[in-house]
Chain A
Amino acid sequence: MNEQSPVMELSLHIALMSLMAVGGGVVLLGPQVGHYVVEGKQWLNNEQFSAAYAIAQAAPGPNLLFISLVGWLIAGWMGAVFTTLAVLVPSTLLTLTAIRLQARHAGGRLTQALGDAFAPISIGFLAATAWLFTRISNVSWHADALTVLAALVLLRTKINPVLLIAAGALAGALGLI
């Protein structure tokens, strides 16, 4: 029973929050979930939460998996599975509904205008996310230089990005960053 109640509480909280995170996906949820589990409920300490976020950022897959890791650190497999479903189920239902609605209205001048406006906005957001990401995780100008270098290499060659990530890990482990 004791194991179960934080899982349900956390999952419900995340499910509600996930519906408010319009416009940016789960990146918006980071600070809010952290505030809730560290200061509000004291299920994790600050360092554990930060590590969960950093590991999920560095790991493959969608960034939302930091929530799975938070759930796992709090309550093991149950925690991981339920928090993951909590963040996925509400938005999946909404998106599937939106797809149905959009299909009916596709092709109009308004749909065209939406696409024309939203595409550049999303590219601007993506560039801003890269910028914010460097502000959060890059601790030295070496790291900033590595970020720019990685972007340039990727734009000019067809190298597999996983190799660049591995090179970054090596540079970090050697103490260059």
Chain B
Amino acid sequence: MPLSTIFLVFSRLALMGFGGVMPFAYRALVEQHKWLTAEEFAKYLATSQMLPGPTICNVALMVGNRYAGTSGALAALAGMIAGPFMVVIALGVVYQRFGEIDMFRHAIRGMAAVAAGLILATAVKMARSMFAKADWRANRPRLQVALLALAFIGLGLLQWQLALVFCVLAPLGTAATYLVGEEK
């Protein structure tokens, strides 16, 4: 795949990604271009979260790498960053001039509320596609529901450090799914 295509697809999805690129990345990579299946997207996302640094940029590196090697990875990352970088700096200039105006501040508030809704919708979509064909008599999907719930409770409700929740759930969850894997 040409590097320019990769750069442009990631530029476009990044520039549309108000309040977080994840929902837009899902839309572009899974629904529009079909570069990944929904399950592959969830796995790339999960692998990215194992690694330090910005999650969505790690996803971009993996997708770019899959379609055009290391230079594809860098093209995807450059696309992800270059355009939004200029937009954010421009908004910084605007903020310094107009940041005191109430209407400006309130508009940002409304955008942030919708942005949280986009993240929520993405989580629901990913869960729906992961469990779409689940056989609830088997142990694996039940285990996965438990892991999902524990991840939400630990990070969201108890507000534990992400690193802590991750370091507990990831090894335990992997050990459990490894053992359950024998059933198939």
Question: Which residues of A pack against B, CB within 8 Å?
Answer: 18-28, 51-52, 54-66, 68-69, 72-73, 80, 84, 87-88, 90-92, 94-96, 98-99, 102, 109-110, 112-134, 137-139, 143-144, 146-152, 154-155, 161-162, 164-165, 167-173, 175-177
The chain B residue sitting closest to A175, CB to CB, is B106
Query: How many Å from the CB of B29 to the closest CB on chain A?
Result: 15
Q: Are A54 and B89 in contact (CB under 8 A)?
A: no
B132 proximity list for chain A (CB < 8 A): none
* In the complex with contacts A22-B50, A123-B148, A173-B107, A109-B120 CB distance below 8 A: no
Question: Which residues of B pack against A, CB within 8 Å?
Answer: 14-24, 27, 39, 42-43, 45-58, 61-62, 65, 70, 73, 77, 80-81, 83-85, 87-89, 91-92, 95, 99, 103-104, 106-127, 130, 140, 144-145, 147-152, 154-157, 159, 162-163, 165-167, 169-170, 173-178, 181
Q: Which of A21, A28, A109, A119 contacts B46 (CB 8 A)?
A: A119
Q: Are A125 and B113 in contact (CB under 8 A)?
A: no
The chain A residue sitting closest to B156, CB to CB, is A128
Complex Cα distance A26/B14, Å? 16
5 A-B pairs with the lowest CB-CB distances in the bound complex, closest first: A91-B53, A61-B84, A172-B110, A124-B151, A150-B117
The chain A residue sitting closest to B66, CB to CB, is A99
Query: How many Å from the CB of A44 to the closest CB on chain B?
Result: 12
Q: Which of B80, B104, B110, B130 contacts A62 (CB 8 A)?
A: B80
- Cross-chain pairs A/B with CB under 8 angstroms, 14 sampled: A24-B49, A25-B48, A61-B21, A92-B57, A98-B47, A116-B144, A118-B49, A119-B45, A121-B148, A124-B149, A127-B124, A133-B112, A154-B118, A177-B109
Complex Cα distance A173/B105, Å? 8
Query: How many Å from the CB of A14 to the closest CB on chain B?
Result: 11
Q: Are A126 and B123 in contact (CB under 8 A)?
A: yes
A128 proximity list for chain B (CB < 8 A): 151-152, 154-157
Q: Are B151 and A121 in contact (CB under 8 A)?
A: yes
* In the complex with contacts A118-B46, A150-B118, A151-B124, A59-B84 CB distance below 8 A: yes
* In the complex with contacts A24-B49, A61-B87, A95-B58, A137-B112 CB distance below 8 A: yes
Query: How many Å from the CB of B51 to the closest CB on chain A?
Result: 5
Complex Cα distance A54/B111, Å? 10
A123 proximity list for chain B (CB < 8 A): 42, 123, 126-127, 130, 148, 151
B120 proximity list for chain A (CB < 8 A): 127, 130-131, 147-148, 151
* In the complex with contacts A96-B73, A162-B16, A18-B123 CB distance below 8 A: no
Q: Are B109 and A96 in contact (CB under 8 A)?
A: no
Q: Are A84 and B162 in contact (CB under 8 A)?
A: no
Q: Are A113 and B177 in contact (CB under 8 A)?
A: yes
Query: How many Å from the CB of B147 to the closest CB on chain A?
Result: 4
B19 proximity list for chain A (CB < 8 A): 57-58, 165
Query: How many Å from the CB of A77 to the closest CB on chain B?
Result: 8
* In the complex with contacts A28-B163, A116-B177, A172-B110, A58-B115 CB distance below 8 A: yes
Complex Cα distance A84/B176, Å? 39
Complex Cα distance A55/B162, Å? 23
Query: How many Å from the CB of A132 to the closest CB on chain B?
Result: 6
